[in-house]
Amino acid sequence: MGFFITFEGIEGCGKSTQLRLAAERLTAAGHGVVVTREPGGCPIADAIRAILLDAGNSAMVPMTELLLYGAARAQHVAEVVEPALTAGKVVLCDRFTDSTLAYQGYGRNLDRELIARLNTLAAGSIRPDLTIILDCPVEVGLARAMARISAASTAREERFEQESLLFHERIRDGFLSLAAAEPRRFVVLDGSRGIEETEVRVTEAIMSRLPTSPARR
Residue 43 buriedness (CB in 10 A; 0-12 / 13-18 / 19+): exposed
The residue that leads in pLDDT, 155 or 205, is 205
The DSSP code sequence of 143-169 is HHHHHHHHH-SS--B-TTTTS-HHHHH
d(CA 187, CA 206): 9
State pLDDT tens for residues 26-65.
999 999 999 999 999 999 999 999 999 998 999 999 999 9
pLDDT at 144 over 90: no
Single pTM value for the model: 0.92
User: How many domains is the chain partitioned into structurally?
Assistant: 1
Longest dimension (CA), the chain: 49
- Please compute, for residue 161, the number of CA atoms within 13 A of its CA located in the half-sphere on the CB side: 22
pLDDT at 93 over 90: yes
d(CA 85, CA 11): 27
pLDDT at 152 over 90: no
Please state which of the ranges 21-30, 150-159, 169-178, 179-188 shows the lowest mean pLDDT. 150-159
State pLDDT tens for residues 180-208.
999 999 999 999 899 999 999 999 999 99
What mean pLDDT value characterizes the chain? 93
Residues 6+ apart with CB under 8 A from 171: 10, 102, 103, 106, 107
Domain hosting residue 127, numbered range: 3-209
CATH number of the domain within which 93 lies: 3.40.50.300
Residue 126 lies in a domain: yes
Residue 216 lies in a domain: no
Residue 214 lies in a domain: no
Residue 64 lies in a domain: yes
Residue 46 lies in a domain: yes
Residue 186 lies in a domain: yes
